[in-house]
Amino acid sequence: MLGNFFYCNPTKLYFGEDSLDFLNTELPKYGKNVVLIYGGGSIKNNGIYDSVVKILNANGKNVAEIAGVMPNPTVDKLYEGIEIARKHQADFLLAVGGGSVCDYAKAVSVSVNCSEDPWEKYYIRFEEPDCETLPVGCVLTMVGTGSEMNAGSVITNPHTHRKIGHVFADEKIMPKFAILNPKFTLTLPHDQMVSGIYDIFNHICEQYFSGEDDNVSDYISEGLMRSVIHASRIANQDPQNYEARSNIIWAATWALNTLVSRGKSTDWMVHMLGQSVGAYTNATHGMTLAAVSLPYYRHILPYGVQKFRRFAINVWDVDPAGKTDEQIAHEGLAAMESWMRELGLVMNISDLGATPEMIDGIADGTLIMNGGYKVLDRDEIIKILKESLS
């Protein structure tokens, strides 16, 4: 922990099976015109939509809707939402869904009063908003991205096969509040549950596998990873286990709300590879990460042996006795692979629809980050993507 840094995260979190009631505490703080944002309609089947609308009505809100936000929200959907929010003269955006819906709401928030093309401004030029932004609240129904307590937003441009995330600098872009009710996640299909779990785990890895200094953040990360592994095994066997699901939802929030990256460099190369795969295949985010992770980590292991060794011992309880550092490090990744297979994650990008013909394009769309143990060149990206095919 050697660098200078800033931490501020004012998002209010209401946690637990009664947490939706606190919408009644928060809604009166914001103006009358609310835009309700949600995804494919599952919240209409499980009753969450009705509960939320009832609370909005009881609080006298004038509600417009942006429905059908897709798992990888597109720039066209963003343009559509901006128009709805403008027409409604929105005072407040209420996202009900998972990370995609929260990400999308933040994208609308910074775009409603923006006079430029938001895709160009925020996702190509990575600029910060210089206009008024709208306050966002979240009711979480899917777990993994941590979007409910950060200032990040990922948008996909399917025309150019680009899926790009921007972490905004100002904490005012973070949701004002988030409602985390573990019960809302109990109805998720198994593949979405484990995809979210791997997303959480990989968020921590991306921040952990970087830097040589001694840092509290890495110790917190090890604790979070152990907790995710433990709870995921219980939830995988017994998806209705409320305690396990509650631990998963809370770990998800803290895995990506900036805490465990304070004072550290970070990697994020798995996300860059996975996002580019997602832009070509429209596959579920967590699965794209799972499918490229092990080829990537095995490729960079020789450049960060000590950290992978520490990961093996402190996270996976690998016994170091009588082994070389490299052996210990590889045993850690082997333990991680076993766990990933146990959860039923997709372990290669072919199963997500990627083909050998796409590899060049996916490589072109992969942003190269420079915080990992090895800054990749294009040949290495091609090699990792090819290894990820099977």
Chain residues that interact with its own copies, rule: CB under 8 A: 1-19, 22, 213-216, 219-224, 226-227, 230-231, 234, 242-244, 246-247, 250-251, 254, 259, 262-263
Pick the closer one to its own copies by CB: 75 or 255.
255
Q: How far is the CB of 18 from its own copies (least distance, A)?
A: 5
Pick the closer one to its own copies by CB: 14 or 280.
14
Q: How far is the CB of 29 from its own copies (least distance, A)?
A: 13
Pick the closer one to its own copies by CB: 207 or 388.
207
Q: How far is the CB of 15 from its own copies (least distance, A)?
A: 5
Question: Which tokens is 212 given?
Answer: 């040589």
The DSSP element (H or E) to which 96 belongs, if any, is strand 92-97
Pick the closer one to its own copies by CB: 24 or 390.
24
- For residue 258, give every residue at least 6 positions away whose Cβ sits within 8 Å of its Cβ, in sequence order, or none: 7, 9, 150
Closest CA to 385 of 353, 357, 362: 362
Q: How far is the CB of 247 from its own copies (least distance, A)?
A: 5
Tokens 């901006």, located at residue:
82
Pick the closer one to its own copies by CB: 43 or 178.
178
Q: How far is the CB of 188 from its own copies (least distance, A)?
A: 18
The Cα–Cα gap between 121 and 162 comes to: 15
Identify whether the C-beta of residue 110 lies closer than 8 Å to the C-beta of residue 122: yes
Q: How far is the CB of 14 from its own copies (least distance, A)?
A: 6
| Range 169-172, long-range pairs (CB < 8 A, 24+ positions) | 169/128, 170/128, 170/129, 171/8, 171/9, 171/10, 172/133
The Cα–Cα gap between 8 and 4 comes to: 14
Question: Which tokens is 145 given?
Answer: 């991205």
Pick the closer one to its own copies by CB: 18 or 128.
18
3-state secondary structure of 37: strand
Pick the closer one to its own copies by CB: 251 or 294.
251
Identify whether the C-beta of residue 37 lies closer than 8 Å to the C-beta of residue 101: yes
3-state secondary structure of 133: coil
Q: How far is the CB of 251 from its own copies (least distance, A)?
A: 5
